[in-house]
Amino acid sequence: MNIGNIVEYIDQQKIISAVILSEAKGKLRLLNENSREVSFSEKRLAHVSETELDTRLPKTTLVSHLKQVTKTRRELSASIDIKGLWEILHDDPQEIDISAMTLFCFDPPLTPDHEAAVIRAFFNDRLYFKFNKVIFLPFTQAQVEAKKRQIRDEERKNALITKGADWLVRLRDQDDVSEEQDPVLLKILKDYYIFGNDAEKAFIAKKIIKQAGLSSPDRLFELFVKAGIWDVDENLDLLSLQIPTSFSTKESQAADQLCKTAPLVYNDPKRKDLTNLPLITIDGQSTQDYDDAISLETTENGYRLGIHIIDVGACIRNGDTIDMAARERASSIYMPDDKLPMIPPSLSEDLCSLKEGQLRPGVSTLVQMNRFFEVQDYQIVPSVIKVHQQMSYTEANIVNGKNDPITTLYKMATVLREKRLKAGAIQITLPEVNVWLDDNKNIHYTKVDRENPSRMLVSEMMILANTLMAEFLKNNDMPGVFRSQAQPKQRIFKGIETELMPNFLQRKQLSRAVITTHAEPHAGLGVPAYVTATSPIRRYHDLLTQRQIKAILGIGTPYSSKDLDNILASISVAVSNTGRIQAARKRYWVIKYLQDLRGESFEGLVLDAYRDHYNVLLKEFMLESRLPTSGLKLKSGDRIQVTIQHADARRGQLTLFAV
């Protein structure tokens, strides 16, 4: 290799011609065809030609000559039929050196330009030969087909990126964005916004966003809202957790068919006719799916209390279309702006709901009590029932103390609670904030005392029914969906505590509730065994347990412990997601409400003190948020006035500062 040799090197996937100006210890100083001087290692050269130029010539002359060399070599390389060579050589693949390959491509006499042209040609078309500057090896037929598929995939990917970028640019720059979207493209971008780098095609999405010139992925949400793809309040948790938000055509048709051909269970001799009992439902004002009712009769020795649960299994059979849809969902999801029922509304709000004046199949727990509201005996029976009156919590509170049966039921509930508390129950009495939207999407909220008479009444009746049903299952050696809880790590208080801080402290000390198929004590409720079976419309756990109880009563086939374990494992994620979604969506709407209250002050309660921040409860909204320490000296339990500095529901951000 000498000064003045014409060489070629690769820069940014292009072959560049140059002349050697100087050399020192393998480092070359080159003048390239673009009139630039560059430093280069001789080991990185793609081709060295024996042709030399006089480096004493003017720079412009050298560059002109290099451009002519490049032109000649490009023209020669264009004449090479690489595919034709491959068709001849690939049946017996052998390594071919540069000299032999040049002879395959050109007739003598050969020049360095011919050899360099071969390198250019095979560098630009790497479909048919493996090539490492001096050795060529034909790919097999299978390898070529695989590379062709790869090229087609790459072309499709690049076309999709271009198409996606162009679409985003139009969305950004134009007012009319009513064009139909490519579903493949839309899924790629949606998934990337929701899952980030964990999205299956995050790389393509990032390329699209970059090519469209968007400043950040956050702009996608704004553009999707502009195009009507997403609502400004889109619930992305439902998308990220892949929660079904509607029922399939098959499921809806199955529900409609059930409504038309409801099983005739009312004449079943196994069912007890309790339609003469004056059943009452007590629920929230907006409730549409009624799954429990209460009755009360005066007896010679005291009272007969009835807790009646809709028999959902009378309509929905184990393993049928609706049952599997319910199992997939595992629970109804209640949110301020939406409700996702576990079973189709035609069932949950009609055929499987305790509507006033309608005959319904039930599972009734009939409890004999003495005049002191002590349980003497009970029986659980399949029944036919009819609700005589539907009341709201507010209506029940109004009549409490004025007439029966509400007044007596409240007294009974008070005694039942006192008994549980003496047995070690831990009563957490934190208020609850209900949030809802009106038809114009205006946000409303109300702070609910869960200890008000009617709510406490219903709560205690359901706890009693669930406790007795757990005992019934245990006494009959029947597996069920039992909920247990170990003793708390520490007891902060006994009885009822109305102050917020002790309740928060006690809640931290509670042991985690456990779901098993066998009975164990529930320390938090103060009962020896517990199931949830009073909401079979809304919880699949309850439907499972209700079926086990009915099997003891001679209706249906029970699940084995193994069956229940398998089902519980399959729905555990869906059950967990329900709580997450309900809490997150409630928080979203409260923060959105606070967006219009920036600068407003509220009373806060310091729940926890950390090195750089406090965890503060906004008492008005029962919402927790961070408060920077900023020189404050606070401790848990302190009250402090805080001001809303910033609220962003979409990002889940709430910034407070001390007044």
pLDDT tens per residue, range 423-479:
999 999 999 999 999 999 999 999 988 888 999 999 999 999 999 999 999 999 999
How confident is the model at residue 91, as a pLDDT? 87
pLDDT tens per residue, range 13-24:
899 999 999 998
- Three-state DSSP class for 480? coil
CA distances to 2, 19, 35, 59, 251 from 63, in Å = 18, 9, 6, 6, 76
Strands 375-392 and 272-273: parallel
Residue 411 CA to residue 419 CA, distance in Å, equals: 13
How confident is the model at residue 1, as a pLDDT? 77
How confident is the model at residue 450, as a pLDDT? 81
End-to-end CA distance of the chain: 79
How confident is the model at residue 307, as a pLDDT? 98
Please determine, for residue 657, whether its predicted confidence score (pLDDT) is greater than 70: yes
pLDDT tens per residue, range 348-391:
999 999 999 999 999 999 999 999 999 999 999 999 999 999 99
- Three-state DSSP class for 5? strand
Please determine, for residue 262, whether its predicted confidence score (pLDDT) is greater than 80: no
Average pLDDT over residues 327-331: 97
Please determine, for residue 133, whether its predicted confidence score (pLDDT) is greater than 90: no
Give the chain's domains with CATH numbers. Answer: 5-139 (no CATH), 153-230 (no CATH), 249-586 (no CATH), 597-658 (2.40.50.140)
Please determine, for residue 263, whether its predicted confidence score (pLDDT) is greater than 70: no
Handedness of CA 584, 588, 594, 598 (dihedral sign): positive
Dihedral of CA atoms 127, 131, 137, 143 in degrees, nearest 10, equals -30
Please state whether 240 falls in left (phi above 0), alpha (psi between -120 and 50) or beta.
alpha
DSSP secondary structure letter of residue 266: T
* Tokens encoding 505: 């402290």
Please determine, for residue 286, whether its predicted confidence score (pLDDT) is greater than 90: no
pTM confidence score: 0.82
Let me know: does 467 contact 305? Beta carbons within 8 Å. no
Per-residue pLDDT band for 26 (boundaries 50, 70, 90) equals: confident
Residue 638 CA to residue 624 CA, distance in Å, equals: 14
Per-residue pLDDT band for 264 (boundaries 50, 70, 90) equals: low
**Contact residues for 241 (Cβ-Cβ < 8 A; gap 6+):** 577, 580, 581
Residue 120 CA to residue 115 CA, distance in Å, equals: 9
Let me know: does 20 contact 5? Beta carbons within 8 Å. yes
pLDDT tens per residue, range 168-191:
999 999 887 777 888 999 999 999
Closest to 293 in 3D by CA, of 399, 386, 406: 386
Please determine, for residue 417, whether its predicted confidence score (pLDDT) is greater than 80: yes
Please state whether 626 falls in left (phi above 0), alpha (psi between -120 and 50) or beta.
beta
* Tokens encoding 570: 């399959």
CA distances to 239, 243, 524, 587, 617 from 621, in Å = 27, 27, 26, 10, 8
How confident is the model at residue 174, as a pLDDT? 86
Question: How far does Cα 417 stand from its chain's mean position?
Answer: 38
**Residue 448 β-bridge partners:** 432
pLDDT tens per residue, range 563-620:
999 999 999 999 999 999 999 999 999 999 999 999 999 999 999 999 999 999 999 9
Let me know: does 11 contact 18? Beta carbons within 8 Å. no
Q: Following DSSP, what letter does each residue of 283-345 receive, concatenated?
A: E-TT-----EEEEEEE-SSEEEEEEEEE-GGGTS-TTSHHHHHHHHH-B-EEETTEEE-SS-H
Per-residue pLDDT band for 230 (boundaries 50, 70, 90) equals: very high
Secondary-structure breakdown of the chain: helix, strand, coil percentages, each rounded to the nearest 5: 40, 25, 35
How confident is the model at residue 47, as a pLDDT? 92
Neighbours of 191 (CB within 10 A): 18
How confident is the model at residue 259, as a pLDDT? 87
